[in-house]
Amino acid sequence: MNQHLNPPKTGMKTWLAIGITILLAACDQSQSQQPVDMPPPQVTVATPLAMEVTDWDEFTGRLYAVESVEVRPRVSGYLQSIHFVEGSIVKKGDLLYVIDPRPYQAILDLARADVTRAKAALELAENDLARAERLYKSHAISEEELDSRSKQKRGALASLEAAKATVQSADLNVEFTHIKSPITGRISQTRVTEGNLITGGDFESTLLTTIVSLDPIYVYFTADEQSVLHYTRMDMAGTRKSSRDSPTPVLLRLADEEDYMHKGHMDFVDNQIDLATGTMRARAIVDNPDFLLVPGMFTDVRLLGEGPYDTILIPDTAINVDQTIQYVYVVGENNIVERRQIKPGRLHEGLRIIRDGLEPDDRVIINGIQRARAGMPVTPEAGTIEPHAPQQG
């Protein structure tokens, strides 16, 4: 019975060996997980790039002709001839159409004959008045007769003036049969061909063609309410004059162009915000000597915003975002990383303008950001910040 209560000695030895083995394995694993001293991570740092910049605000605009004319006749008649090539450039005063002038020439000749008749009547009245004055002095006629001859002269003079006015009117109608270009520009197609009867001289006159001027040309665009307030406050602060009072520079770029090649200036800003769109309409005028800009085209517009002014710039890759806060890592004393909150501006030559939060001599981490944390030491390596691309315009 006592033999069954005592365990075998061989079994205890086995369990003791297993326990020692497990203990030794745990000690080896603990020693393998002990931290090994590592050098601070290496990062690339650079001071912000200091330079003078000018802000250009971008909008989408549309081109309009400065002058646009609908060519309509001022007299009615049959269209006799057309004297222009459709789609060509015409100059002010060039002959475009001729309406059959013969009916109006006949009226002019008749009016001129009436002038001759009126002149003869006036001469007769003047002679009669002169005789009446002599006879009146010799008491051969009465005062009433003299007064009648005087009134006859005045009536003849008025008839002559009326005849002359009729000649001027008839002469104008003859002139109006030759329709000339009122402006210099590109002419459209003719809406009426030779031989057709056209109507002129009233609101239902026949539309013959249209002409639009090309040089200079307008570009219209709209700015949102925030931009309008921004420009207004800059004007109040004296940092940028209002486009209403100053010809603010404007640059244009067409759809197939990379650079803003066309220069102009502001010449109109509307007087109120559009209630439907919440924007304000503005207009610039642009030189177009080669007629490349065509009314109706869309164009990118750059409007001078602010500057030139001195600022500092860093690459976008150096900026981190924590919800709504943007920050960079700066290497301070003893190569300890600091987190610096910044206020970034727009891009300029591939770099981000920093309006607040950095100093020109700060060492900003521009490479190896993922290895940096605030408060930890790093091994800084000097780098440089350079513009990535030339500024448009």
Q: Are residues 199 and 266 in the same domain?
A: no
Q: Are residues 74 and 154 in the same domain?
A: yes
Instruction: Please report the pLDDT score of residue 25 as a whole number.
Output: 55
pLDDT per residue as tens digits for the range 211-236: 999 999 999 999 999 999 989 998 88
In a domain, 367, yes or no: yes
> Which of the given ranges, 29-43, 116-130, 170-184, has the highest pLDDT on average?
170-184
pLDDT per residue as tens digits for the range 321-349: 988 899 999 998 889 999 999 999 888 88
> Which of the given ranges, 3-7, 81-85, 341-345, has the highest pLDDT on average?
81-85
Q: Check if the beta carbon of residue 135 is closer than 8 Å to that of residue 149.
A: no
pLDDT per residue as tens digits for the range 151-199: 888 888 898 899 899 999 999 999 999 999 999 999 999 999 999 999 9
Q: Domain boundary at 280, 308, 336, which?
A: 308
pLDDT band at 24 (very low <50, low <70, confident <90, very high): low
In a domain, 229, yes or no: yes
Q: What angle do CA 32, 37, 41 make, to 5 degrees?
A: 125
Cis peptide, bond prior to residue 216, ω within 30 of zero: yes
Domain range for 88 is 69-212
Q: Domain boundary at 264, 289, 308, which?
A: 308
Cis peptide, bond prior to residue 39, ω within 30 of zero: no
Q: Are residues 75 and 171 in the same domain?
A: yes
Q: Are residues 273 and 315 in the same domain?
A: no
Q: Check if the beta carbon of residue 241 is closer than 8 Å to that of residue 235.
A: yes
| Cross-strand partners of 313 | 49, 353
Task: Provide the domain count of the chain.
Answer: 3
Pull the structure tokens for residue 62.
């549309």
Q: Are residues 172 and 248 in the same domain?
A: no
95-99 vs 337-341, strand pairing mode: unpaired
In a domain, 160, yes or no: yes
pLDDT band at 143 (very low <50, low <70, confident <90, very high): confident
Alpha-carbon gap, residue 357 to 48, rounded angstroms: 12
Q: Are residues 291 and 333 in the same domain?
A: no
Q: Are residues 109 and 192 in the same domain?
A: yes
Q: Domain boundary at 263, 288, 308, which?
A: 308
Pull the structure tokens for residue 198.
């056209």
Q: Residue 89 corresponds to which amino acid?
A: I
Q: Are residues 94 and 187 in the same domain?
A: yes
Q: Residue 120 corresponds to which amino acid?
A: A
Q: Which residues contact 13 (CB under 8 A, 6 or more apart)?
A: none
In a domain, 19, yes or no: no
Q: Read off the CATH number of the domain in which 187 is found.
A: 2.40.50.100
**With helix as H, strand as E and coil as C, how does 286-335 read?**
ECCCCCCCCCCCEEEEEEEEEEEEEEEEECHHHCEEECCEEEEEEECHHH
**CA-wise closest residue to 214 among 280, 289, 279:** 289
In a domain, 387, yes or no: no
In a domain, 172, yes or no: yes
Residues making up the chain, counted from first to last: 393
pLDDT > 90? residue 86: yes
Q: Are residues 107 and 204 in the same domain?
A: yes
In a domain, 8, yes or no: no
pLDDT > 60? residue 6: no
Q: Are residues 223 and 92 in the same domain?
A: no
In a domain, 1, yes or no: no
Q: Are residues 200 and 76 in the same domain?
A: yes
**Average pLDDT, integer, range 289-301:** 94
Pull the structure tokens for residue 10.
């061989």
**CA-wise closest residue to 376 among 327, 337, 332:** 337
Alpha-carbon gap, residue 325 to 48, rounded angstroms: 20
Q: Read off the CATH number of the domain in which 264 is found.
A: 2.40.30.170
The reply to whether the predicted model has a pTM over 0.75 is: no
pLDDT band at 276 (very low <50, low <70, confident <90, very high): very high
Q: Are residues 145 and 196 in the same domain?
A: yes
3-state DSSP: the chain helix, strand, coil percent, rounded to 5?
30, 35, 35
